[in-house]
Structure 1
């Protein structure tokens, strides 16, 4: 839905009883993520990103020094909308429940009690629905998550991030524990699920710590267990027919089939809602974020060490190859002549008056003095030329079949 359409929807929502605190100043529902970003519901991911960048610049608190509080509130809302719409899994879940969310069908006493932390829900009965997907939808609101303290001393309080969700999952566990099986169906075995834990609960224990903390659960244990959650509730309240009113066996069978289908649909929706909540929470859990940051740092360190090891291995391989080539090289006869003998030849020629210049055969150069010649012999250019001549001579030897 476009920006103008969203505003119209927001105004109609206000008129139909949506609380003012659920609307922005320009009448957009705070949970209408498409409206907050000024997008149609079929917008692409690239369009979502472009819209977010544009609005983030507009509403960033640094850009609104005269109205920091309002800008901060709006920036928080568009950031939450962007986070959901850029995640394919969360967006799909939001799209399928968006109408119910905007109609306010997720609000209720259960949610308010957990949100404020001021009262505990009543104990569930074995045949009562307890918390339903309608109640749980509000816990999947990213703006609600952002409103909860997740760090500091308040994080573990009843109204903090860890306090709220620890009590919520304790409640879900209690309801499952108390649930009775459907008449005529085998009872589902009871499964023990770990607690959500506290802000100081580690993401995972090291092997050494596991021995000490044998009876303690890490945050990772919570997510692993609850991500595969399956309820024991019978969902008998989903039955649409009273079997006692069936006029005959054929109709009764049809009623039973319809009732079973309704129960299975209700159970599937409930299981999927809780699993979605678990995935949603993990992404925003400070313990998970800290674990991810530490893992990324370790991986970066390991990559650096691996790169250094690779470079060392390459350098050692090059050194070995050079040594092997040097050991296999057979010097030519003219290279074997001792420097003393060469010097004596030049000296005898000089004494006979036949050596006025000093020659470099490799470079085809002449020098007037011995000092100049010796200086040239030590030059890099001379050594390079000698090496070139050696390669050419070895090549010629090979072509002629000589050693």
Structure 2
């Protein structure tokens, strides 16, 4: 049975921006409460709790240790960066969604194009939330919507946001060096610089994965295709006013010109697929492999506090 890792701030019962004096007061109060000598009826529980309180205070009372803990807190709480642990990044594997076999049709049912990718992008966003500085903000990411979503109000904002996606994850779990073990300031700065390279590389790879998925989805989005056809038709006809646009669009969609444009767009999409070496007949068998990051994770050493 895996023991849930508790946040050191929660152990001491203080907020993450607590000052040194507040942490000391809380530590003394809790240490007195859970001292084994004062809890003979629950000796084992008291001993474990007392030790945890000591560990938490030892780390958070040291400015350098606290800074390191703050930077790696999320990974630690998820089971990584501990003694003997190898952190596994369980982010959504987006490569399984680079194929039309992951959805069935363009309806609004659970297996349809819009439901599948709405869930995918919601999952990606929710994975980033724990790493946001202000988790309680009212920010809401643009939703993927459904087949009836407005292009201007929903579809365009969605692709504008996700096409320039940047992961919020820290990727501290790919670091190679424990800066606390550096013998001097120069060595520590050098280790920090090397760690930053590893983190930046991991972030870049994730950003490219998501942006490529966005491009893949956008190319197949019927709402985008319809908008492009409508805009092309608008330019061809040379409308100079938006007055009566809805009526004109309704009539135009029935016209031969509209049907011709749809046929042209379909041919263009097929040509683009061929240029990307995707055989339309074998599209369901596309199998894109995700190169797993296999980085060695350094131990998080929590020594017993030194006796005074």
TM-score normalised to structure 2 length: 0.45
TM-score by length of 1: 0.35
Larger Rg: 1
RCO higher in structure (CA 8 A, sep ≥6): 2
